[in-house]
Structure 1
Amino acid sequence: MKEQTRRNCEQLIENRNRVKSVFSWDNGLLNLACAGIFTAKGKAVDELVLEDCKNLLKQKVGIFSNFRSTARSPITAMLATSSNPKQTLENGLLVYQLLKKDFWTSSYLPLTAMIIAQMAQPSQYEEIASRTRTIYDRMKKEHPFLTSGEDSTFCALMALSEKTDDMMIEDAEQCYHNLKPNFFSSNAVQSLSHVLALCDSRADTKCEKTMELFEKLKAAGHKYGTNYELSTLGVLAMSGGNSDEIVQEIDEIDDWLSQQKGFGFFSNITRKQRLMYAGIVTQRDYLNEEAMQTAAVNGTISLIVAQEAAIYAAVAASSAAAGSATSSN
């Protein structure tokens, strides 16, 4: 394993432990999801800052707000990674009010609002919130039974794209129809197709690269998750890295993680979830440094947005899973 990769892995573990010290009652999967937010940005958790953001959220929103439901700790993590948590929260609440005009409230909507608040200028909020609904309606028209509140996250990221609505919807549909025969979960394939639609290249090429990586991982004994994990694989496939090298790196990271406390056989983190986080750590090697240095390239910007979409979709799904586990206990 490369030294930088090992440091990234160690940072994920350390971030999870620090998150757990602040959110000690949260489900382990949710702690890991929050750690993933920091690690994907190359940041270490500062417990004092995280605690301050937790208190800030408590002060600014009511106890029954969806900002303090299962999305509470991921939103706190998003605030803690921003340069100005107070302003970021105020902006997120503003976007949330705009989105509520067009969407039923849910645990996914606050995350969607925070994504827009972090990635757009205040002068764009109203336009992006409106475009988010427009894209959602078009998505719903194509897949009336698949499209639901959880897709608002992808719609928001697509609304931030410079691509036209027609381009993204057509691209997503072609990717969906190309990939669906390979996977059982229609929801997961729809999410993957949305991520791929944010990336530049022909739909056929994107699907071929994704399936090549999936099959090579499977051949190496690492069957990638085919539920909400699947969209993170699409980002890796489009990173421009050599698929054999990506498989080797994921294999090394997954093996290392399996030996860490909270990731082994008796943990509540499944093998497929662990593999997804191995993929997220791998993304840092192929996206962050080089990508940010060449951010003037539209394709690279699209890939960074796609990375955000995949990670936050995983966070949202983790939040929902954690909430379901809590309610069943």
Structure 2
Amino acid sequence: MRTSLSHRCARFLDARDMLRRAFPFAHAQMIPICAGMAAGQDRPWDAGRLYACRDLIQEETGLFSNFRGAGHLAVITLLALSPAPEERMAFALQGYKVLRTRFYASQYLPLAALLLADWARGRDLDGVAARAEEIYRRMKREHPFLTGAEDSVFAVLLALSPDTEQAVVDQVEACYDALKHPFGTGQYTQALSHVLALGEGSAQEKRDKVLGVYQGLKAAGRKYGAGYELGTLGSLALLPAPVEELTADVLEVDEFLSHQKGYRGILGLPKNQRLMHSAMLVSGDYVDQRKTSVMGAAAVSGTVAMIAAQEMALCAVMVGGIGASAAANNDG
């Protein structure tokens, strides 16, 4: 395993264990997702910073605020990873207020607001929100029974594209049509199509890359989940690396995790979740290696691809329905 990926895996396990100790009542599947985001940080992480961000949320929001809902631990994590949590929280609250003029309140809007805090500073927030609303409305028209509150996050990300609203939705639909035969016509395929629409290239090219990794893992005896895990697989397909290289890296991380506490034995996490975590770590490592060139580029597609690789795993888990059960088990 290359050094950068090995270090990322070690940081991931350390962050996971620390989060478990700090928030013992958090949803079990949210902890590794948040740890995956923390694994990209070189500086030491401690529970004190997390508790300070938790307290910041409590100071700035009401008891029943969606910032304290199913994604509470995710919001805490994203703030703790920021060099200036107070500033990020202030901007997220501003973004949330703007989004609430366009979308119904939901547990997903705080995540969208935090993404705006990173990628829409200096832009016309109301204009971005208006584009997101229009994109969401067109998504809903195409798939009235599949499109739900969780898609507001994708709509905000897609609104950062320089393309017209219809061109964005056309790309989403092209990806969905290309994916529905291998993966079906449900909400997870739709979520995957949203992730892929964030990146460059044709729908067919992106479909082929997803299937290349999916089938490569299957050929090696690893069956990747076709449920909420698909969003993370999509983040791999956005990376500028050959299918064979991505597949080999995921297999290497999966083998490593299979011997680690929490993954091994009959009491360990299911293999499909382990494989998803492996894909998440690999995508994050590739992003870190290319972060300078991505951030230096003007292309919005490159920027949102980075967001997808680092944070879309969280969206995918939430889309998978964890939100409802996490609400009953969140850290309070």
Aligned residue number for residue 313 of structure 2: 311
Secondary structure, in 3 states, of the residue corresponding to 1:28? coil
Could you tell me which runs of 5 or more consecutive residues in structure 2 were left unpaired when the two chains were aligned. Answer: none
Residues 1:175 and 2:178 aligned together: no
Aligned residue number for residue 38 of structure 2: 38
Displacement of 1:256: 1.2
Structure 2 CA distance for aligned equivalents of residues 9 and 309 of structure 1: 17
Secondary structure, in 3 states, of the residue corresponding to 2:104? coil
Matched to 1:305, the amino acid is: I
Q: Is the contact made by 1:28 and 1:268 (CA closer than 8 Å) also made in structure 2?
A: no
Pairwise mapping of residues 1-329 of structure 1 onto structure 2 (< 5 A)? 1-40=1-40, 44-121=44-121, 123-184=123-184, 186-267=186-267, 269-297=269-297, 298=299, 300-308=302-310, 310-317=312-319, 319-320=322-323, 322-323=325-326, 326=329
Structure 2 CA distance for aligned equivalents of residues 132 and 43 of structure 1: 34
Displacement of 1:13: 0.5
Structure 1 CA distance for aligned equivalents of residues 171 and 43 of structure 2: 33
Greater shift in the superposed pair: 259-268 or 10-19:
259-268
Structure 2 CA distance for aligned equivalents of residues 210 and 136 of structure 1: 24
Structure 1 CA distance for aligned equivalents of residues 37 and 21 of structure 2: 16
Q: Is the contact made by 1:294 and 1:300 (CA closer than 8 Å) also made in structure 2?
A: yes
Secondary structure, in 3 states, of the residue corresponding to 2:260? coil
Matched to 1:223, the amino acid is: K
CA RMSD, aligned part only?
Answer: 2.1
Deviations, residues 214-246 of structure 1 (Å, cap 9, x unaligned): 111111111112112112212212312122222
Q: Is the contact made by 2:195 and 2:231 (CA closer than 8 Å) also made in structure 1?
A: yes
Q: In proportion to residue count, which structure has more helix?
A: 1
Q: Is the contact made by 2:26 and 2:329 (CA closer than 8 Å) also made in structure 1?
A: no
Q: Is the contact made by 1:29 and 1:269 (CA closer than 8 Å) also made in structure 2?
A: no
Q: Is the contact made by 1:22 and 1:47 (CA closer than 8 Å) also made in structure 2?
A: yes
Secondary structure, in 3 states, of the residue corresponding to 2:288? helix
Change (3 A) 1:81 1:281: same
Displacement of 1:75: 0.2
Q: Is the contact made by 1:198 and 1:305 (CA closer than 8 Å) also made in structure 2?
A: no
Q: What is the percent sequence identity of the aligned residues?
A: 33
Deviations, residues 46-83 of structure 1 (Å, cap 9, x unaligned): 32211111111111111111111221111010101112
Greater shift in the superposed pair: 34-43 or 75-84:
34-43
Q: Is the contact made by 1:109 and 1:152 (CA closer than 8 Å) also made in structure 2?
A: yes
Structure 1 CA distance for aligned equivalents of residues 186 and 41 of structure 2: 30
- Which protein has greater RCO, CA pairs closer than 8 Å, 6+ apart? 2
Displacement of 1:42: 5.7
TM-score normalized with structure 1 length: 0.92
Displacement of 1:310: 2.1
TM-score normalized with structure 2 length: 0.91
Displacement of 1:39: 1.9
Q: Is the contact made by 2:213 and 2:243 (CA closer than 8 Å) also made in structure 1?
A: yes
Matched to 1:254, the amino acid is: D
Instruction: Count the aligned residue pairs.
Output: 327
Structure 1 CA distance for aligned equivalents of residues 68 and 267 of structure 2: 26
